């Protein structure tokens, strides 16, 4: 069994600051679980274009508020504590921070831990 303490991740190389967000990578590819888990802060007043062409993601909001707009149909979703959204079709979307938000994000395939969004909002398929 493995345990991970968030306090041990904060300030380490497993904490990635993307400007609009800060992702603390709790479970990564090297943990051999078949998925990865991030504790992510979305900053209020930000807008991030994201398009996970190589990953599926489920996101569970535990604090704050964001808006997700899917770009294929321009639908907007208000995400508040207790809401999970799943990007089950590699949905290209805009993520807008309404209030500082804390999210738990699960990725398949797992992230290696060093990913940042490219100019199209994409994480690479594999960095290893």
pLDDT in tens, the chain (128 residues): 999 999 999 999 999 998 999 999 999 999 999 999 999 999 999 999 998 888 899 999 999 999 999 999 999 999 999 999 999 999 999 999 999 999 999 999 888 866 655 565 555 566 44
Give tens-digit pLDDT for 78-113: 999 999 999 999 999 999 999 999 999 999 988 886
pTM of the model: 0.87
CA angle 44, 59, 19 (to 5 degrees): 35
Domains in the chain: boundaries:
6-10+21-108
Tell me whether residue 5 is exposed, middle or buried, using C-beta atoms within 10 angstroms of its C-beta: 0 to 12, 13 to 18, 19 or more: exposed
d(CA 78, CA 33): 30
| Helix spans in 6-127 (H) | 6-9
CATH code of domain 6-10+21-108: 2.60.120.10
Which pLDDT belongs to residue 123? 57
Strand pairing category for 84-87 and 56-70: antiparallel
* Encoded tokens for 106: 């699960």
Answer for the pair 5, 27: CB distance below 8 angstroms, yes or no.
no
Strand intervals (E) in 32-108: 36-42, 47-51, 56-70, 75-79, 84-87, 92-108
């Amino acid at each position: 069994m493995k345990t991970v303490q968030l306090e041990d991740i904060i300030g380490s190389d497993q904490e990635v600051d993307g400007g609009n967000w800060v992702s603390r990578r709790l479970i990564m590819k090297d943990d051999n679980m078949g998925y990865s888990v991030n504790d992510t802060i979305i900053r209020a007043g930000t807008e991030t274009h994201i398009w996970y062409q190589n990953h599926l993601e489920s996101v569970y909001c535990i604090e704050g508020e964001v808006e997700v707009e899917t770009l294929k149909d321009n639908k907007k979703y208000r995400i508040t504590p207790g809401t999970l959204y799943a990007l089950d079709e590699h949905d290209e979307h805009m993520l807008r921070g309404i209030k500082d938000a804390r999210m738990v994000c699960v990725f398949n395939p797992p992230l290696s831990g060093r990913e940042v969004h490219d100019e199209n909002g994409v994480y690479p398929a594999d960095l290893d």
